[in-house]
Amino acid sequence: MKNNIVKDLRAMNVEELNAKLKELKEELFTLRFQHAINQLDNPKKMTEVKKDIARVMTILSEKNA
C-alpha cells in the first residue's frame, strides 16, 4: 500500500506536492486539537499523517536537488 502512495507522490509536480503538504499539516493540526480535547477516535492516525508529511517532504527535497 505504501508503495502506491509513494508512486503517486513521485508523479506529482512541485506545486501539487506543496499543496499536499499544506493539506497534511492542516489535518495534523486538526488531529492534535481533537487529541487535546479527548475527541480523537484513532490516535494512530496522527502517526500515519506524520509519516505522510515526511514522505512528501522527502520527495520535495529530491525534486529540488
What domains are defined for the chain?
2-64 (1.10.287.310)
pLDDT tens per residue across span 14-56 = 999 999 999 999 999 999 999 999 998 999 999 999 999 999 9
> From CA 63, how far away is CA 23, in angstroms rounded?
19
Write down the pTM of the prediction: 0.90
Q: Cα(3)–Cα(56) distance, rounded to whole angstroms?
A: 13
What cell does 22 get?
A: 499544506
